[in-house]
Amino acid sequence: MSIDKKYTRRALLNRIGGSAAVTALYPFIPVTEADAATVSGGVPLRFFYWYMPILPKRNIVATWLPKKQSKLEWTGAMSGLNEMADRMTCIRGLTNSAAYDSPLSGGHKASGMTMLSGWSAQKGVSNQYSHLWKGANGFNGHDSLDQWLARKLTENNVKTPRTDIRMGWQNKGHTNDPVWKSISFKNGVVQQRHQMPEDLYKDIFNLGGNAPVIDYGPKFSVLNHLTSSLKRLQGKLGREDSMRMEAHLDSISELERQFKSAEAASNQAGGSCNIDPSLNSGGDRWDFAIESYSRLAQIIFSCDITRIAGAQWMSHLWAGQASFLDGVNGGYHGATHNNGNVGMMNAVQRFRVEVFLRLMKLFDGVEEANGKTLLDNSIVYWFTEVSGDHNWYDQCNIIAGGGGYFKMGLNHVEGGNHNRDNNRPQTKLLANFIDAFGFEPGNFISPKYDKGTLANVIKA
């Protein structure tokens, strides 16, 4: 890069005086030797999980998923993914053994709580939650993969303003059930996720804390806050880096504009100065939330605010929550238990494909110092907790970007077919994620389960 090497991250933090200012400059500041878990060119590796629960009955799912060990080609309601099929990989034929070993009621709890875990979920003793981790050793309790990776990065001197970020959309039901509340655990304790995009935005950029009214004036404007610092750096940037910086700041500006527009619309309708309820409350417009969170995820990673983040989408499961889609009425969850509403299943899945593609394109629109994009330098993991007919085998795991570690553009069928007896353990894929960051799984994965990686999904 053309930027003067004397401008280290720490020096800029001291010069500018605040994490909100310096984080937007991270893509233009040299990466130090202390930054572990990088891809080629010293660019940070990021991990982002994308959890959308429940696939319907197997005969419906079969019309969507690729079936053979070959070049990746989606069908049916998921055929839209073929637009970027060369930037993702599908891994099937994995069984979540930890779910079968978890004595929890409900088909979703056992698997939902263990998809990012190397241990089974056991009943706990907390009055607040009916199910908590216990029986794990090391780290004073058990972590989900996101929390474990965040911990390991910190132990390896990777310093970011946030160790991890969890996002989602406000739940209307099951708010005290851990698997619906959050699939992220630290030391056996549920880690709450941001459930409103506006709150996460304020949290990241320190825009007034938890104040009910947002001040969008110069005091809290991210762009205005950066102006003086950017002028000092202008002479240190070459033409290419200047263009990248401009595009990066435009992205932040567009997100500010989106929230201001929502606020103005609310005021014109006689509301308060708060964000429009469609972006800041429960309801059926989780599509708005996904759009906002996806833009925030792009900024979070490109600003190096954290290396570990994830999104958990739940609200569309219940009646009316996906009614903004044409021809969709009632609850998605109930419809997955029968074959009578195939049209609804396909409509919801097409929408899921649409928003995941949007996330990929946002990541792919950020060019980084190694000549690749944010998508290339990230591992984006899309999964559900059940496969088909509420089974926990033949899980459909989608890896986008690959982080320079995974092979892309292929359909991998582990174990040769799609039945439980010949599946590989799901923990092997978790071991791949850990291996991509350069760590050993250690006691993250129980000795009961396979700690080895899936060899044929790794780039040579």
Q: What pLDDT, on a 0 to 100 scale, did the predictor assign at position 180? A: 66
Q: What share of the chain is helix, strand, coil (3-state, %, to 5)?
A: 40, 10, 50
**pLDDT tens readout for residues 376-434:** 999 999 998 888 777 788 888 999 999 999 999 999 988 766 677 778 899 999 999 99
- Which residues, in sequence order, are CB contacts of 83 under 8 Å at separation 6+? 357
Residue 81 pLDDT grade (very low, low, confident, very high; cuts 50, 70, 90): very high
In the block, which residue shows the tokens 């060990």? Answer: 69
Domains and CATH numbers, the chain: 39-196+285-457 (3.40.720.10)
| Rounded Cα–Cα distance for residues 70 and 191 (Å) | 38
Token couple for 339: 């074959």
- Lookup: tokens for 144: 């989900």
- pLDDT at residue 106, rounded to an integer: 61
407-439 in b/e form (b: 16+ CB < 10 A) is ebebbbbbbeebeeeebbbbbbbbbbbbbbbeb
pLDDT, average across residues 195-216: 59
Q: At 92, list the tokens.
A: 């099937």
Whole-prediction pTM value? 0.78
Which of 34-43, 275-284, 304-313, 427-436 shows the lowest per-residue confidence on average (mean pLDDT)? 275-284
pLDDT at 198: 76
Query: What element of type H or E holds 312?
Result: strand 308-312
Q: Is the dihedral of CA 176, 178, 183, 188 positive or negative?
A: positive
- How would you classify the pairing of strands 410-413 and 94-95? unpaired
Check whether 336 has a pLDDT greater than 90: no
Higher pLDDT, 172 or 332: 332
Give the span between the Cα atoms of 425 and 93, in whole angstroms. Answer: 9
Structure confidence at residue 226 (pLDDT):
53
- Which residue did the predictor score with more confidence, 279 or 408? 408
Alpha-carbon gap, residue 418 to 22, rounded angstroms? 49
Closest CA relative to residue 372, chosen from 15, 36, 43: 43
CA 8/CA 24 separation, integer angstroms: 14
Residue 38 dihedral angles phi and psi, to the nearest 5°: -115, 160
Q: Which amino acid, one-letter code, is at 333?
A: H
d(CA 252, CA 69): 41
From the list 209, 351, 365, the residue with the least C-alpha distance to 288 is 351
Q: How far apart are CA 201 and CA 451, in angstroms?
A: 37
pLDDT for the residue numbered 392: 83
Of 330, 312, 326, 344, give the one whose Cα is nearest residue 60: 344
Sign of the torsion angle spanned by Cα atoms 72, 75, 78, 84: positive
d(C-alpha 294, C-alpha 281), whole Å: 18
Q: Are 98 and 446 in contact (CB under 8 A)?
A: yes
**Span 332-356, average pLDDT:** 83
* Residue 441 binned pLDDT confidence (cut-offs 50, 70, 90): very high
pLDDT value, residue 28: 45
Rounded CA separation 255/223 (Å): 11
pLDDT tens per residue, range 121-149: 776 544 344 445 554 433 346 789 999 99
**Is the pLDDT confidence value at 23 over 50?**
no
Q: Going along 4-151, which residue ranges are E strands?
A: 46-51, 70-71, 88-92, 94-95
Average confidence (pLDDT) over 208-220: 37
Q: How far is CA 435 from CA 141, 163, 444, in A?
A: 22, 19, 12
Which candidate, 457, 332, 309, places its Cα nearest to that of 380? 309
Report the DSSP beta bridge partners of residue 51: 312, 383
**What is the DSSP pairing of strand 88-92 with strand 397-400?**
antiparallel
The pLDDT of residue 31: 38
- pLDDT tens-digit profile of 219-273? 334 455 455 555 556 566 777 777 766 776 676 666 666 555 544 443 433 333 3
At residue 188, does pLDDT exceed 90?
no
Q: What is the pLDDT of residues 396-411, one digit of tens each?
A: 899 999 999 999 999 9
Distances (CA, A) of 270 to 263, 265, 273, 289: 11, 9, 9, 22
More confident residue, 49 or 194: 49
The stretch 301-327 carries a mean pLDDT of 81
Spatial separation of the C-alpha atoms in residues 365 and 136, rounded to whole Å: 41
Q: What is the pLDDT of residue 121?
A: 77
Q: In this predicted model, which residue has the larger pLDDT, 166 or 303? A: 166
pLDDT, tens digit (0-9, with 9 covering 90-100), for 363-375: 999 888 899 999 9
pLDDT averaged over every residue in the chain: 74
Whether the predicted pLDDT of 107 surpasses 50: yes
